[in-house]
Amino acid sequence: MEIAIDDPARPDVVDLLAEHLADMHAISPIGSVHALDVSGLLAPEVTFWTLRRDGELLGCGALKELAPDHGEVKSMRTATRARGAGIATALLRHLLDQALGRGYTRVSLETGSHDFFAPAHRLYARHGFTRCGPFGDYAADPNSVFFTRTL
């Protein structure tokens, strides 16, 4: 498996992100969807990675700088055909390593509160994240769960 900085406008990535956004909009009300589209992932404060095996896109994730010491995990997505294969774990470990290398002392994230997101909640808890209140520009929302981890 190879994890590398990638272009979110690549056709296969666009398809994976479209699937991600479609799921988010099907589950959460419009004002509670905080997933980034291609343009959001191209912002200068965001670095976007993909995980590929033999060139096949299996997942993606991003790290957004909120402050010089605080990053946010964004756009974590595993391709449906690759779920259960450790893709999300590999990506999350990579993002945490990158955050440490940048000198962040904290990494946070927002995810949904519905049952669909239970696997994500377990993933983040296994990697030392704990629930917290809203951070950055987020507001309290019954459709959101916030996590943070000190590095």
H/E element, 39:
helix 38-41
| pTM recorded for the entire structure | 0.94
Question: Residue 76: which of 89, 138, 85 has the closest Cα?
Answer: 89
Question: Each residue of 15-47: pLDDT tens digit?
Answer: 999 998 888 878 888 888 888 899 999 999 999
Read off the pLDDT of each residue in 102-111 and give the average, rounded to a whole number: 98
Residue 93 one-letter amino acid: R
Token pair of 114 as six digits: 């519905």
Is 122 a residue whose pLDDT tops 90?
Answer: yes
Is 118 a residue whose pLDDT tops 90?
Answer: yes
What is the CATH architecture of 2-106? 3-Layer(aba) Sandwich (3.40)
Tell how strand 46-53 and strand 144-150 pair up. Answer: unpaired
Residue 52 sits at φ, ψ, to 5 deg, of -130, 150
Locate the domains of the chain by residue range: 2-106
Question: Each residue of 73-101: pLDDT tens digit?
Answer: 999 999 989 988 999 999 999 999 999 99
